[in-house]
Amino acid sequence: MKVDILDIGSGNIRSVKNWIEKSNVSTRIVTQPDDIKSEMLVLPGVGSAGSYMQRMKSGHFDEAIKAHVDKGHRLMGICLGFQIMMEYSEEDGHVEGLGFLNGHVERLIGQASHNAWEPLSFRRQEMAGQSFGSQHHLTQKRIFNGRVFYNHEYGVVNKSQDAFSLPVSRAFSQYSGLLVKDNIIGIQFHPEKSQISGTDLINMIL
């Protein structure tokens, strides 16, 4: 498998690249929409939804990503990259997202930001109905059980009833920390900063 990592100036590209390559998977950093050609595309993201989507649309990356998904190829969004896959975000007033997943993004209720480690656990079979989780080449593990690192001010409110979704935490149970729908996966936490848990996760989903 080859993995493309989209670089539109959103930061943390090298960290995500190093995280994926720990599983001995080949990666490419792509900066042009026509360069998106691998079986899996990763959207990292640090910053604001407004500027991210402005760069996305002005560079016609939104069209290329839609074509990638329509072919049945896999798409992974991390942090802001996850949030812009929703229908819209309340950040920067109101920002239209890519609309791949039903739901929206809103400011975290009752807290300015969430910067913490949180437990995460799931059985591999729980995402078996989604095509993203149908292949597990790199590990025979059936259960993921670890701690993952969050650093965000906005949360994803999922509206897809048939998606596999895990909450951020007990305190933020209304927000998705991990969301899988068909060939798309959204990750609100930072797997590239989650140490051994991040490595275990990439081995389970690639």
Which CATH number goes with the domain that contains 169? 3.40.50.880
Burial class (CB in 10 A: 0-12, 13-18, 19+), 146: middle
Give the per-residue pLDDT at 115: 96
pLDDT tens digits along 34-62? 999 999 999 998 889 999 999 999 999 99
Residue 108 pLDDT? 96
- pLDDT tens digit sequence for 71-81: 999 999 999 99
Give pLDDT, residue 134: 54
Reported as half-sphere exposure (CB side, CA atoms, 13 A), residue 97 has a value of 24
Count of domains observed in the chain: 1
Residues in the chain, pLDDT under 70: 128-140
Strand blocks (E) in 31-187: 40-43, 74-78, 88-89, 95-96, 103-107, 114-123, 143-152, 154-158, 164-167, 176-181, 184-187
Domain that holds residue 143: 2-205
Active-site residues, by number, are 79, 190, 192
CA neighbor of 148 nearest in space, from 80, 205, 195? 195
**Residue 177: its pLDDT value, please?**
98
Q: DSSP 3-state assignment of 165?
A: strand
Q: Which among 75, 2, 84 is positioned nearest to 42, based on CA atoms?
A: 75
pLDDT value, residue 71: 95
Report the largest interatomic distance among the alpha carbons of the chain, rounded to a whole angstrom.
45
Secondary structure tally for the chain: helices H, strands E: 5, 13
pTM confidence score:
0.93
